[in-house]
Amino acid sequence: MYKNNRVLIIATIILVIAVQIPYSAFADLKTELTVKTDVLEMTPGNTFAVSITFSSKLEDISVVQASIEYDSDIIEYQFAGNAIELSSGSGGISDNISSGTKTVSYEIRFKALKAGKAKIAVTQSQLIGSISGSVLGEPVGEIVVKVSEPTIEPGDDIDDEPKETPPSTEQPSDDIWLKSTLEGDLIYVSKDLSDVMLPKGFEIENIVYQDEEIQAAQDYDRDLTLIYIRERGFTSFYIYDEKGLVYPYAELDVKTGYTILETNEVPIDSVATTLLIDNKPVKAWISDIYGEEFYIVYAKNSNGSKSFYLYDSVEGSMQRLIVVQNNTNTIDIDGENRHDEKQH
């Protein structure tokens, strides 16, 4: 009997282990992390971008939490989006993701300070599912960039200007890079984007630039065309519009929260109304000054500052509004309502 119980216990333990191991392996396969950079080798003074992309293969992502470490003695953090905070070699990502998203990318820009090898690593992460609310995965990853002292040949002029960083240790090849100028400066335009990570929503399309066929990034929904340019060691996408103009591509991603408040202050030249936000009726005003698609609301931002805001009902955005106000304060004295009006 004792032997039978012992066999049963051992079999149970083996079964538990057999169930747990495939679950952990399966959980790791649910998510994916890629860490890429546009320049693997550079000289001091150059700037470069690191892209961190999280992907879920099954469920949409609702929350991204990640810890990031980098060698701050060799590279210096420049800037990134609102969801990223880095300082003195460490920091992280804390982001709430809108519904319907399985892939989310973050771009961080650094500056090379001195020669050496610098590691940028996602040391910990958690992706939370939007439906289950559980951890989808905890992927980690890293990349190493090399900062080299510039090679000075005899007879070369020495100055403080950062030297142009080619896409590799070789000089830019005419097969891959098209030499051009932008506002009088020498630039190189990439003809091949097969190894370049495209911004979200873009796909590769062949276009003609300066009588040569090159690959560009195309977003048909927004009618945007981007070309990939290297200038003085900085490689980035630029907008190439229908008039042939080239200018930097920059996305403004403003993420902040607002709480709609009540107020006795009334913007002049406006009419009170009720606005439906988050399926709740809130107090608002409309004005002929701004048009029927814009509403004035009184709100508090994520920093605690209170102000009137102009709410764009089409884009769902808020803009702080400086208004001339007619303040009406109602005071109850001896059972009667008295109005103390102040004109500003």
Same domain, 34 and 136: yes
Residue 84 bridge partners (DSSP)? 93
265: in domain: yes
Same domain, 264 and 199: no
158: in domain: no
Last residue within a domain, chosen from 254, 279, 308:
254
Q: Are 20 and 126 in contact (CB under 8 A)?
A: no
Characterize 266-302 residue by residue with b for buried, 16 or more Cβ atoms within 10 angstroms of its Cβ, and e for exposed: bbeebeeeebebeeeebebbbbeebeeebbbbbbeee
* 295 vs 157 pLDDT, higher one: 295
Same domain, 20 and 140: yes
Q: Are 55 and 102 in contact (CB under 8 A)?
A: yes
What is the value of pTM for the model shown?
A: 0.43
Q: Are 108 and 50 in contact (CB under 8 A)?
A: yes
Half-sphere exposure of 177 (CA within 13 A, CB side): 19
Q: Which of 16-30, 44-58, 192-206 has the lowest mean pLDDT?
A: 16-30
Q: Determine the average pLDDT of the residues in 255-263.
A: 81
Cα of 279 vs its chain's centroid, Å: 28
* Structure confidence at residue 161 (pLDDT): 44
* Structure confidence at residue 330 (pLDDT): 37
**Position 7 pLDDT exceeds 70:** no
205: in domain: yes
Q: Determine the average pLDDT of the residues in 5-20.
A: 44
* Structure confidence at residue 174 (pLDDT): 62
Same domain, 62 and 205: no
User: Which pLDDT tens digit goes with each residue over 331-344?
Assistant: 343 334 444 444 33
**Position 22 pLDDT exceeds 70:** no
**Position 163 pLDDT exceeds 60:** no
Same domain, 28 and 85: yes
* Structure confidence at residue 4 (pLDDT): 53
User: Which pLDDT tens digit goes with each residue over 87-101?
Assistant: 889 999 999 888 788
3-state SS of 17-32 is HHHHHHHHHHHHHHEE
Last residue within a domain, chosen from 150, 175, 190:
150
Same domain, 2 and 94: yes
Same domain, 237 and 209: yes
156: in domain: no
* Structure confidence at residue 65 (pLDDT): 93
Same domain, 183 and 328: no
Q: How many domains does the chain have?
A: 3
Same domain, 49 and 72: yes
157: in domain: no
* 334 vs 186 pLDDT, higher one: 186
By residue range, what is the domain housing residue 140?
Answer: 1-150
Mean pLDDT computed over every residue of the chain: 78
Last residue within a domain, chosen from 150, 182, 217:
150
* Structure confidence at residue 344 (pLDDT): 37
7: in domain: yes
159: in domain: no
CATH number of 13's domain: 2.60.40.680
Same domain, 1 and 96: yes
CA distance 323 to 99: 35
Same domain, 177 and 289: no
* Structure confidence at residue 6 (pLDDT): 54
155: in domain: no
Q: What whole-number percentage of the chain has pLDDT above 70? A: 77
* 168 vs 254 pLDDT, higher one: 254
Same domain, 23 and 95: yes
* Structure confidence at residue 254 (pLDDT): 62
